[in-house]
Chain A
Amino acid sequence: MATIRIDPVTRIEGHARVILEMKDDGTVEYARLIVNELRGFERMLVGMEADRMPLVTARICGVCPVTHTLAAIQALEDAFRVAPPPAGKILRELLCMGQLVHSHALHLFALGGPDLFFGISGDPARRSIVGMVEAAPELAKKALRLRTLGQKVVEAVGGRGVHPVTVVIGGISFDLAADALASLRKQADEMLALARELVPLARDLLLRLVEREPNLLKLEVRAHDLGMVRGGKVSHLDGALRLVSPDGKVAEEFPAREYADRLVERSYAWSYMKPVFFKLGGKDALYRVGALARVNAADGMETPLAQAELEAFRKAHPAPCHLTIMHHWARIIELLWACEKAKLLLGDPALSGPARVPVQITAGRGVGCVEAPRGTLIHEYEVDAKGIVRAANLLVATQQNYAAINQSIEQAAQSYVAGKGDQAVLNALEFAIRCHDPCLSCATHALGQMPLEVEVRREGTLVRRFGREA
């Protein structure tokens, strides 16, 4: 039995590496993405003031801090039975859309974009945002502008872009001034115009990539999909969780508060990250979260351009689509939706009302659930009568995709290991990980390539080693 170890030298949310266990016939027995870091937020949060949770948990991730902030506040408001006023709700949703534009634009154009543009077997030296700026300066400039606009929405509503500060129990800590609102409206118009221009370009790049690399259409994980829906439409802040079976039937729809009855975290002896499964008929069912899972789970999109894009997608790939590469198309749909939705929110007359109500803290337990750019995020807190956190539980998106990521790596290795060169294997494994957009990949994939080391072993002895340096 041979073992292939792939050690990314740079950190993937800490340190991660891939081990492929090979059978004697040269096929892959299993794939393991090993996560070698544990920050232990669940322990750290205990003993802290509940009102700090939005600020503290933002520090879990600098790319999507808004999502943690919002999940935390929803959990606390659930525990204290508090509802923010309409203006507070609208501003939070706007914050969420701003971050979605920033994150999806960053992924589509800066991180995953180089794959689409140059192909996954393209010259790694050019396969980066820098290469894209050289090859298509106008496209790259517009894409980066789109990301900037999304982040400026977060800055205006959240007080700052990274680790926003204005989300408080009972609403948003300030009322939006008229001039700030006017400039936000202008930015939202520009955001939507840019998205309309860039979306067809991104879609064409994706379709051409699939034509060039038909092997990508073998990367399919037939799992359940989990995503939030409101009135059947994709929603990120408010709604029920819906599980759709691999053949497209709604298996369950439930309030996030009941997550612990259905979702179960397990553990592996070889990783600090806990995978999550769905308890279905007494068994652990594999499921995925994220943009593709969300559009698979929903009946449609709530805005016209996003709905049209979803229909085009479903025409090409009937729902539910399990092709890992089509995460990109799902992101495109959501990017359009976020821009349209931001404009709608900014036109809501309720925005002129107060954004915050005073609250009373009582002992309680509450669950908050938000769709992060990378998938469903759940926070749960138990708070005592003094407002101190007594227990905290966090289920992040990447954990829920963990089992599916391992399966994708295995498939990528299976279809590329035999008969292809080392570079193609490295590219394919990297691509399989990156398609899931795990939070851990935001740390590495902008490099154009992950620094990987592959060791082929037979009965513990090194047979050969290949890879590329950090």
Chain B
Amino acid sequence: MSGKLRLNTEWLSVCGGCHVGIVDLHEKILDVLGSVEVQRCPVLTDVKGYPEADIGIITGAIRNEHDRAAALAMRRACKTIIAFGTCAVHGGLPGANLAHSREEILDTVFRRSRSTETDVLPASEVSTLEKMVTPLDEVIPVDLYLSGCPPHAAFIFDALVALAHGRPPKARDETVCAACRRSMVKTDVAELRPNHSGIPDPGRCFLSQGYVCLGSVTLDRCLSPCPKQGVPCTGCAGPTMQILTEPNRDLRTEVAERMRRLTKIPAGAVVSAMEASAKTHYAYAMATRMIGGKPTFLIKKWISDVEAV
């Protein structure tokens, strides 16, 4: 087996979709197996422990002691660690629950559910709920990041083949707009339209039509299936580097600025609307300090304003 790239994969707290995403390389998986030797992999192999490896793919965020221990073991065993999928990179969708306290969550699930009748809250044998989600690089050093929910097979294939041939993967920093075929045009649209209203024009940019679309502020790790099939981007691969790294840039201000130029909708109206829908728009990345730590990011306030109505 010498000459082949040795690969370990591991999943932490995750829906499992990233590993299905790897299996969804379909026929190409045979090409990959020509230059990659799969060692530990929770879906396909029965390799125990953490054998020494060249590449380690970790999917999912850190939620508990098991996740922490597994991440550390992978770090020790693997030369290069890839944080794979939006959960590993930014905490992912479950991060949206950071907006709520543990008590609120338990109260909703066990006391306020319409079909639940009980006086018992889980207390013995189970651990106290931890902070909902921690991105991988807060626990171990990460070498490469591949976000996406899950990343498209084309990116997975390129990353594995590139690493097998000793070249860096094409770390493209294009946005979801790159593969979108809609045309950005100036319009007289004067009001925001909720995503569910009307049937969007299939040829025209959503922003031009007054729909909030996160395509222009989201990293392309998907090849744009949403705008291609008539659905505005919801940002599942996480924000672009520009937004992550520049303190004065943000999802809502960037989208508002574009919509202001394209339509007759005032930027302030877009910012207010996106703050009111903050849990939706920021869900995938609010667990990362690069978003959640911005001083202007007042998620709990925005949510309590909405829920108080």
Question: Complex formed: what's the CA distance from A64 to B231 in Å?
Answer: 21
Task: Give the contacts of A257-282 with B (CB-CB under 8 A).
Answer: 259-260, 263-272, 274, 276
Contacts A124-B46, A166-B229 hold; do A387 and B63 have CB atoms under 8 A apart? no
Q: Is A62 an interface residue (CB 8 A)?
A: yes
Question: Complex formed: what's the CA distance from A269 to B48 in Å?
Answer: 33
* Residues in A whose Cβ lies below 8 Å from that of B222: 160
Q: Which single member of A15, A49, A127, A263 contacts B280 (CB below 8 Å)?
A: A49
- Which 5 residue pairs across A and B have the least CB separation, nearest first? A62-B17, A448-B46, A173-B230, A40-B105, A62-B16
Q: Which single member of A15, A165, A276 contacts B64 (CB below 8 Å)?
A: A15
Question: Complex formed: what's the CA distance from A451 to B277 in Å?
Answer: 43
Q: Is A435 an interface residue (CB 8 A)?
A: no
Task: Give the contacts of B94-140 with A (CB-CB under 8 A).
Answer: 94, 96-97, 99-100, 104-106, 108-110, 112-118, 120-127, 129, 132
* Residues in B whose Cβ lies below 8 Å from that of A356: 199, 230
Say whether A447 contacts B115, CB under 8 Å: no
User: What are the interface flags for B187-223 relative to A under an 8 Å C-beta threshold, 1 for contact and 0 otherwise?
Assistant: 0000000111111001000000000000000000010
User: What are the interface flags for B56-81 relative to A under an 8 Å C-beta threshold, 1 for contact and 0 otherwise?
Assistant: 00000001101100100000000000
* Residues in A whose Cβ lies below 8 Å from that of B21: 62, 161-162
Q: Which single member of A56, A165, A270 contacts B225 (CB below 8 Å)?
A: A165
Q: Is B182 an interface residue (CB 8 A)?
A: no
**Interface stretch among B37-45, B251-259, B289-297?**
B37-45
Say whether A451 contacts B48, CB under 8 Å: yes
Q: Which single member of B17, B93, B118 contacts A162 (CB below 8 Å)?
A: B17
Contacts A43-B109, A48-B280, A358-B199 hold; do A269 and B124 have CB atoms under 8 A apart? yes
Q: Is A442 an interface residue (CB 8 A)?
A: yes
Q: Which single member of A151, A161, A271, A469 contacts B49 (CB below 8 Å)?
A: A469
Contacts A62-B19, A159-B225, A266-B118 hold; do A449 and B105 have CB atoms under 8 A apart? no
Q: Which single member of B26, B114, B150 contacts A62 (CB below 8 Å)?
A: B150
Name the prevailing secondary structure of the B interface residues. Answer: loop
* Residues in B whose Cβ lies below 8 Å from that of A468: 48
Please name 17 pairs of A and B residues whose Cβ atoms are closer than 8 Å in the assembled complex, sorted by A: A11-B67, A34-B126, A42-B113, A47-B303, A124-B46, A159-B228, A173-B229, A264-B116, A266-B117, A267-B110, A269-B123, A272-B122, A272-B126, A443-B11, A444-B42, A447-B42, A470-B49
Say whether B109 contacts A47, CB under 8 Å: no
Question: Complex formed: what's the CA distance from A268 to B123 in Å?
Answer: 9
Say whether B43 contacts A59, CB under 8 Å: no
Question: Complex formed: what's the CA distance from A386 to B93 in Å?
Answer: 23
Contacts A151-B24, A260-B114, A451-B48 hold; do A44 and B306 have CB atoms under 8 A apart? no
CB distance from B129 to the nearest CB of A (A): 6
Name the prevailing secondary structure of the A interface residues. Answer: loop
* Residues in B whose Cβ lies below 8 Å from that of A51: 194-196
Q: Is B90 an interface residue (CB 8 A)?
A: no
Question: Complex formed: what's the CA distance from A62 to B21 in Å?
Answer: 9
How many residues on chain A are close to B (CB under 8 Å)?
Answer: 92
Contacts A15-B66, A174-B229 hold; do A267 and B121 have CB atoms under 8 A apart? yes
Q: Is A125 an interface residue (CB 8 A)?
A: yes
User: What are the interface flags for A3-16 relative to B under an 8 Å C-beta threshold, 1 for contact and 0 otherwise?
Assistant: 00000011100110
Say whether B230 contacts A267, CB under 8 Å: no
Say whether B196 contacts A395, CB under 8 Å: no
User: What are the interface flags for A446-464 relative to B under an 8 Å C-beta threshold, 1 for contact and 0 otherwise?
Assistant: 1111010000000000000
Say whether A43 contacts B104, CB under 8 Å: yes
Say whether A59 contacts B149, CB under 8 Å: yes
Q: Which single member of A19, A48, A49 contacts B125 (CB below 8 Å)?
A: A19
Q: Is A168 an interface residue (CB 8 A)?
A: yes
A11, A110, A448 interface centre (most CB from chain B within 10 Å): A11
